Amino acid sequence: MSKSRNKRDKGHGTRDTETTHNPQPIGELFEQLVQVMAALRGPNGCPWDKAQTHQSIKRNTIEEAYEVASAIEEDNPEKLREELGDLLLQVVFHAQMASEANRFDIADVLKGLVQKLIERHPHVFGERKVETPEQALAQWESIKANEREQTGSLMDGLAWSLPSLMLAHHAQKRAAQVGFDWNDPIPALQKLKEEISEVESVLKGERGDRKRLEDEIGDLFFAAVNVARLSGIDAEMALRNAVRKFVSRFKAIEETAKQQGKSLAEMKLEEMDAIWDEVKRKGQ
């Protein structure tokens, strides 16, 4: 459904008895979901659902994935259950539209997924042996890399709708699979310093050269992702956490201003910086 449609407001409550002990087989429930989606798109279906295309609900699909991630971050099982359902709806929605165009259907999606899981887990369904999660992941990535090399470029199939930090991380990881990478973060940090110097050079030069400035700042971000990746840090999460920290400290400045009977516009930057430093000193 569209994100504009209201969802039921759910809290941290326990799952109801019907949900926890539903006697219906999983396959039957999934078939029912597929049939409901087909009815919504059918001749007597919902005008909104019938009007949608892959493009029109593309953003909804991305948003639902983020809402799943948000429920995980909140450690909210009931919300996670609901959001996983909304994300599954997007999968069934896209498959139904593809079926109507005679491209593929949900059975093809499931068949391809099962085949992929079996092929990429030869240590479970074959004769290979792995002992650790790291070895299993390395094997998965190696199989994926071999598949890409056989069909084209290692960079084929990059998910360009990913947030830019995540996209950079994935592109770098793919290049690293064939050794196009540094062995540790220190050389990457030196590269980051070079990119900072180049940004500084542009800023000190012609202010009108915005295209070059955009390019150099882009290189700066890309280099920062490299340092994070080689250090074992998720750049996307690191920046999200930095934003959370910034928001928390800024709210502390706002609260202090209220206590002093001032508006932020009336405070000098030095005053705000002093509050910021105090909040930082307290570890907030």
154-207: pLDDT as tens digits:
788 888 888 899 999 989 988 887 788 998 999 999 999 999 999 999 998 865
Higher pLDDT, 165 or 23: 165
CA gap 99, 84 in Å, rounded: 23
Secondary structure element (H or E) that encloses residue 232, with its range:
none
Classify domain 17-119 by CATH architecture. Orthogonal Bundle (1.10)
DSSP state of 264: G
pLDDT of residue 284: 65
CA gap 261, 76 in Å, rounded: 38
- Superfamily of the domain at 153-233: MazG-like (1.10.287.1080)
Measured over all CA atoms, what is the biggest interatomic distance in the chain, rounded to whole angstroms? 72
Helical segments of 3-121, H only: 17-20, 26-40, 47-51, 58-74, 77-100, 106-119
30 CB-contact burial (10 Å; exposed 0-12 / middle 13-18 / buried 19+): middle
pTM: 0.62
DSSP state of 266: G
Q: For residues 259 and 282, is the Cβ–Cβ distance under 8 A?
A: no
pLDDT for residue 130 is more than 90: no
pLDDT for residue 5 is more than 50: no
pLDDT for residue 61 is more than 80: yes
- pLDDT category at 149 given cuts 50, 70, 90 is low
pLDDT for residue 151 is more than 90: no
Q: List pLDDT tens digits, range 218-250.
A: 999 999 999 999 999 999 989 988 988 888 888
Q: For residues 221 and 168, is the Cβ–Cβ distance under 8 A?
A: yes
Q: For residues 125 and 107, is the Cβ–Cβ distance under 8 A?
A: no
CA gap 1, 176 in Å, rounded: 39
Length of the chain in terms of residues written: 284
CA gap 56, 50 in Å, rounded: 11
Radius of gyration of the chain (CA): 25
pLDDT for residue 283 is more than 60: yes
CA gap 275, 265 in Å, rounded: 15
Which has the closest alpha carbon to 100: 47, 51, 147, 165? Answer: 51
CA gap 230, 172 in Å, rounded: 10
Residues near 38 by beta carbon (within 8 Å), at least 6 away in sequence: 96
pLDDT of residue 6: 42
CA angle at 284 for the pair 248 and 169, rounded to the nearest 5°: 70
* pLDDT, mean over the chain: 86
